[in-house]
Amino acid sequence: MVFRKYRAVKQWGKMDTRIFKEIYNSRNKRKMPAFEVPEAVKALGVPIFEPNEVFTQTNRKKNIIEQARSQAEGEVRFAEQEHPLQKNHPAYIFEGAEPMSDGIAQAALLTRSVVRYNLPDTILHNAAAKLDIDEEMVRDAILHGERYNPTLEKLPARFDPVMFWIRHVRLHGTPVLKRKVNRDSPLSVYLSGGQYFSRVPLVLRGQPHLTVQSPDSTVTMPWAGPIDVKAVSTEPLPDIYPISPIIDFEKDTIYNDDLLLTRRQQKTHVHSILWSREQDQKYPWTSEQNMANAILTTYAAAIAEATRNGATKLEKPLLVRGVQLVNGRLDLVAFQLNTLKPTETGDNAEKNIVWIEKGLRLYKPKPYYEQMEVVEKLDMNVFHKFVALMLGFGAPHAH
């Protein structure tokens, strides 16, 4: 071995820096035991302040006041007003985004109505509604939405429940919900009072694709006469215990509690609302849940029709129709509004009537990523039911 003279380390190298940093970091990481207030001091009962925050307000009585305030306000928490139009009460919001847990029964309970599971015979076999409509015309009408539409938008990502790992090509085409600015007018009604909405009101919102209105008031003539309405008032509302009917509503702050309905200043009457729903690829709604959505949205339209001129009382019953299209299946609703009163615990005498036809297959739809060339399995019986609903006008003198 070569003889080497002793030489002091004169250079502070990068390894030394690393070692020093490690030592330094480990020293910094060493935890001091947290300070505990001694028992003797606690026994004295003197107020103990956070030493770093002696001069801030958090140590003062403000905390206690805050606690008392939040306690007093209880469950209904007033939102911090951030906007001059913001209402200081939260509201339950129905936007058709969440399925009703208990389906039709829940919707019936919320709308205080009795459900009739088929359209009445007088409406179905109405001679006036027997129009001579060619099947080809119906096919063509369906293809207008499905095929002739030139929309070229980015379609949602496709999810295959079996081959879930496949990343499908993103296609462009006509989305299931085809939005048109002049058609999809918003609809919003505000309800409060009753068993469920006395503390927190309910706002029913929708954006039906079509709102059919007529200057003729016969379109809102009720189907059931006073005798039927009286008979219905003895029927009980469905009991959906242990589910609370309001659990599916979102709770949010609102800025406008006015009625929102297209052409509400004009002297027209809502005949019907028609819209379609897109099913979620992963979590599709059941036909019951689709129907509940249709009932609530039609109820919103009926309330809007009843209160469009600032009216708070319903002078005579009225009827509004709702048509929902989900995956080629029609949900037909005829909602006869007999009372504007919301559901009460004890007094439930007057009731609304709702006639429904659930999940009628009008045609066989294609998935959104395929182009429909011809309409398959078109059911003209369903179409005639739809026509009967639309053209079935009540004759109150008949009863």
Interface with other proteins, residue 101, by CB under 8 A: yes
Size of residue set near other proteins by CB under 8 A: 14
Question: Would you say 189 and 202 are in contact if contact means Cβ atoms under 8 Å apart?
Answer: no
Near other proteins by CB under 8 A: residue from 27, 282, 313, 397: 282
Buried b (16+ CB within 10 A) or exposed e, 2-19: eeeeeeeeeeeeeeeeee
Structural tokens at position 353: 């009537």
Q: At closest approach, how far in Å is the CB of 22 from other proteins?
A: 16
Span near other proteins by CB under 8 A; candidates 136-144, 240-248, 266-274, 337-345: 240-248
Span near other proteins by CB under 8 A; candidates 41-49, 132-140, 239-247, 261-269: 239-247
Interface with other proteins, residue 241, by CB under 8 A: yes
Q: At closest approach, how far in Å is the CB of 102 from other proteins?
A: 8
Interface with other proteins, residue 55, by CB under 8 A: no
Shorter beta-carbon distance to other proteins: residue 36 or 315: 36
Q: At closest approach, how far in Å is the CB of 74 from other proteins?
A: 16
Three-state DSSP class for residue 333: strand
Shorter beta-carbon distance to other proteins: residue 157 or 349: 157
Bridging pattern class, strands 352-361 and 318-326: unpaired
Shorter beta-carbon distance to other proteins: residue 3 or 165: 165
Which residues from 134-173 bind other proteins, rule CB under 8 A?
A: 164-165
CA distance 43 to 369: 74
* Residue with the two structure tokens 């505000």: 190
Question: Would you say 119 and 384 are in contact if contact means Cβ atoms under 8 Å apart?
Answer: no
Near other proteins by CB under 8 A: residue from 150, 242, 310, 346: 242
Q: At closest approach, how far in Å is the CB of 71 from other proteins?
A: 19
Near other proteins by CB under 8 A: residue from 56, 244, 256, 371: 244
* Residue with the two structure tokens 């096919």: 139
Q: Which residues contact 268 (CB under 8 A, 6 or more apart)?
A: 213, 214, 215
CA distance 203 to 80: 20
Near other proteins by CB under 8 A: residue from 102, 146, 331, 357: 102
Beta-sheet strand order (sheet of 113-116): 113-116, 352-361, 329-337, 318-326, 269-277, 210-214
CA distance 358 to 142: 20
Near other proteins by CB under 8 A: residue from 143, 155, 237, 243: 243
CA distance 61 to 38: 23
Span near other proteins by CB under 8 A; candidates 130-138, 238-246, 265-273, 322-330: 238-246
Shorter beta-carbon distance to other proteins: residue 55 or 164: 164
321 φ/ψ angles, rounded to the nearest 5 degrees: -100, 150
Binding mask 23-42 for other proteins (x = CB under 8 A): --------x--x--------
Interaction site with other proteins (CB under 8 A): 31, 34, 101-102, 164-165, 241-244, 247-248, 282-283
